[in-house]
Amino acid sequence: MADVKKIAVIAGDGIGPEVVAEAQKVIAKTEEVFGYRFEFEYGLFGGIAIDQRGTPLPEDTLAMCKNADAVLLGAVGGPQWDNNPKELRPETGLLGIRKALGLFSNIRPAVVFDCLKDASTLKPEVLEGTDLIVVRELTGGIYFGEKLRREGPNGQEAVDTCVYSVMEVERIARQAFEIARTRRKKLASVDKANVLETSRLWRETVIRVAEDYPDVELEHVLVDNCAMQLLRRPSSFDVIVTENMFGDILSDEAAMLTGSIGMLSSASLGEGSYGLYEPVHGSAPDIAGQGIANPVATILSVALMYRLTFGYHDAADAIELAVKEVLDAGHRTKDIAVDKNKSIGTEAMGDLIVAAIRKLQGN
Ligand code: IPM
Ligand code: MG
């Protein structure tokens, strides 16, 4: 019998609890079909933790995450916390948990599902074959540099500092090269080396790391140009590696290529197999509690967790195929439905995917 793996579950705010509940049904089904065993622990995080505990990232939640093999996160945030001071904002909890768990690498695949090609705002022929991964540096750069307010010669000023060390660039570059190696062996390193010193260090370092990966084709793309090329020739990208803020922006852009942010999963990783898995979409407070959210991104995040943390490739394949079959059969939640009157709810989508999970030939 497989050993019991511990998953820390943070449902979070808005639609978080609804989509996480469906992901847990999927996990339960894979336990039944594949004999894997999981134990769940639950913690408060984000807005709900601010309300109930006075902080977005309570100590016991962090301890629970550290003690688990992987973390499954729903979504955090909502308008009721938007005007809070910085230390009482859900986003602060998110940045804090990434840093505290050493999750320096954020992996965001953007895959165009064939049957959803029409959901994108781009022409289907431009999207044809798009299958890329944004590897975003997650614990450095301007997000984490020194910030201050001060009086300057023209009144109040604000400063955000962007710092990168060679070590930080090197480890994310290595991870991106390793991922590229398992795919089409193409890496685009995105920077602003024509202007920023951190980007020049980034580029020098990536070039040095590339010596260890002669089999991977490396191109350097300036971030503004990359934003344009993503719309012009998305299918030519394989793996994109970039710093924290550029990755934040480009991963949203890449997500929209697929036309369906409700479909995209993500992983945040450190050095080992430990990871935090969450849908790319947010807490969608406007539709929370209505039972209409799309659970697919969270369910696909479970597949990523199985692959990257546990090495349970058979179950990951089964989940991904189940999702594909359900979509191919025409089932749609509202966000991806062409005919909004024919859409199904969160639970119905979860149930259909659960029912489609089975052992595949050859696994
Ligand atoms: C993301 C989000 C966060 C980020 C926010 C909510 C702090 O946009 O995960 O991409 O900027 O990293
Ligand atoms: Mg973002």
Compute the mean pLDDT over every residue in the chain, rounded to the nearest whole number: 95
pLDDT digits (tens, 9 = 90+) for 17-57: 999 999 999 999 999 999 999 999 999 999 999 999 999 99
In a domain, 238, yes or no: yes
In a domain, 321, yes or no: yes
- Ligand 1 pocket residue status of 255, Cβ below 6 Å: no
In a domain, 47, yes or no: yes
In a domain, 114, yes or no: no
In a domain, 360, yes or no: yes
State whether 129 and 94 are in the same domain.
Answer: no
State whether 203 and 269 are in the same domain.
Answer: no
Atom 1 of ligand 1 has which residue's CA nearest to it? 248
For the CA of 245, the nearest atom of ligand 1:
11
State whether 135 and 220 are in the same domain.
Answer: yes
CB-neighbour burial class of residue 328 (10 A; exposed 0-12, middle 13-18, buried 19+): exposed
- Ligand 1 pocket residue status of 248, Cβ below 6 Å: yes
Per-residue tokens: 314: 């058979």
Distance CA 181, CA 215 (A): 8
pLDDT digits (tens, 9 = 90+) for 205-216: 999 999 999 999
Per-residue tokens: 174: 């290595």
Distance CA 226, CA 233 (A): 10
State whether 287 and 354 are in the same domain.
Answer: yes
Count of the separate structural domains present in the chain: 2
pLDDT digits (tens, 9 = 90+) for 157-171: 999 999 999 999 999
The confidence band for 310, taking pLDDT boundaries of 50, 70 and 90, is very high
Distance CA 52, CA 90 (A): 13
What domain range includes position 182?
Answer: 121-257
pTM value?
0.94
317 is an active site residue: no
Where among 209, 242, 257 does a domain terminate? 257
* Average pLDDT of the segment spanning 196-211: 98
State whether 243 and 218 are in the same domain.
Answer: yes
Distance CA 21, CA 25 (A): 6
Please give the full DSSP string across 22-73, using - where no structure is assigned.
HHHHHHHHHHHHH--EEEEEE---THHHHHHHSSSS-HHHHHHHHTSSEEEE
Distance CA 174, CA 209 (A): 7
In a domain, 36, yes or no: yes
Per-residue tokens: 122: 């781009």
In a domain, 310, yes or no: yes
130 — phi, psi (to 5°)? -70, 125
For the CA of 76, the nearest atom of ligand 1:
6
- Ligand 1 pocket residue status of 94, Cβ below 6 Å: yes
State whether 210 and 139 are in the same domain.
Answer: yes
Residue 90 C-alpha to ligand 1 middle, in angstroms?
Answer: 10
**Which ligand does the CA of 78 lie closest to?**
1
Atom 11 of ligand 1 has which residue's CA nearest to it? 248
Q: Give how far Cα 196 sits from Cα of 170, 189, 246, 288, Å.
A: 18, 15, 13, 41
Where among 211, 233, 257 does a domain terminate? 257
State whether 200 and 292 are in the same domain.
Answer: no
What's the distance, Cα to Cα, between the start and end of the chain in Å? 17
State whether 205 and 307 are in the same domain.
Answer: no
State whether 282 and 168 are in the same domain.
Answer: no
pLDDT digits (tens, 9 = 90+) for 130-145: 999 999 999 999 999 9
Residue 253 C-alpha to ligand 2 middle, in angstroms?
Answer: 10
> Looking at residue 363, what is its pLDDT?
58
6 is an active site residue: no
Residue 243 C-alpha to ligand 1 middle, in angstroms?
Answer: 13
Rounded CA Rg of the chain: 20
Where among 257, 277, 296 does a domain terminate? 257
State whether 94 and 196 are in the same domain.
Answer: no
State whether 129 and 252 are in the same domain.
Answer: yes
Per-residue tokens: 355: 């029912």
The residue that leads in pLDDT, 121 or 219, is 219
* Average pLDDT of the segment spanning 333-354: 92
Distance CA 160, CA 25 (A): 43
Candidate of 98, 248, 261 to mutate for ligand 1, largest count of ligand atoms within 8 Å of Cβ: 248
In a domain, 112, yes or no: no
- Residue 242's CATH number: 3.40.718.10
State whether 161 and 41 are in the same domain.
Answer: no
Please give the full DSSP string across 199-252, using - where no structure is assigned.
HHHHHHHHHHHHTT-TTSEEEEEEHHHHHHHHHH-GGG-SEEEE-HHHHHHHHH
Atom 2 of ligand 1 has which residue's CA nearest to it? 248
C-alpha dihedral sign at 241, 108, 212, 139? positive
